[in-house]
Amino acid sequence: MLTHEIGSVTLVGAGPGHPDLITVRAVRALAQCQAVVYDRLVGREILDLAHPKAKRVYVGKSCGRHAATQDEINALLVALARQGLDVVRLKGGDPFVFGRGGEEMLHLRAAGIACTVVPGVTAAFGCAAEFDFPLTHRGMASGVRFVTGHMKNDEDLSLDWRGLVDPHTTLVVYMGVSGLAAMLDGLTEAGLSKETPAAIIQNGTRAGQRMVCATAATLNKAARNLNHGMPALVVFGEVVTLSPLWDAQMAELTLPPLCAAQ
């Protein structure tokens, strides 16, 4: 009976979306793989970097619609590796920043499958750079925190609101639009100033990217004009005002109404 030598799995971060932002190491891993298991936010240009003969398996997830559960993905990675294949598990952003890469790594390790990790440019850094503002800045933000606005199994959004309110720290919320109202209530009740600059960045680094600037008091209203089918980040902090879009959008909000013709 023929047996396969056990293959391996490489967890690869595809970056925030634009194909130029994927790393050289990630490109090499894709070019050499025999199978690629990829997520919803991985664009066609990046997927096409995989070896032409590599098996492609889509396991994307969106709100309420999963091509595969996490348990099924874990089992699939083990099964492909046990067929002797070198597998790339391709994720948007970085595998270890809200990408469940840690869960997959531990499952593979428990199954005796070799696993390596190729980090990627995470969405927070990519999107902020795309709209020309830093996440930290001397005299304005001495730190940055990443949290997720999406809770496991549709649980109520429950975060350490008081611990997140710090005027000297930029707060970046991944997947934060669907629970935005609850998040704003939690933050403002914990002491976040309603005048805190904020922004929602949608489809960052991709075609059709958009950044909407507001304050904590007006952010929920501003979010009503977004396409809620696209990925989005929410950013709170003074650093948002360093983006050229801040002055332009705030000026539009404060323009006096046009006088009617006499």
Active site residue 20: no
Q: From CA 36, how far away is CA 29, in angstroms rounded?
A: 10
Cβ–Cβ < 8 Å for 182, 151: no
Catalytic residue of the set 20, 39, 94, 185 = 39
Active site residue 152: no
Catalytic residue of the set 55, 61, 71, 132 = 61
**Rounded to whole angstroms, what are the CA distances from 34 to 28, 42, 113?**
12, 18, 16
Residues annotated catalytic, as ranges: 39, 61
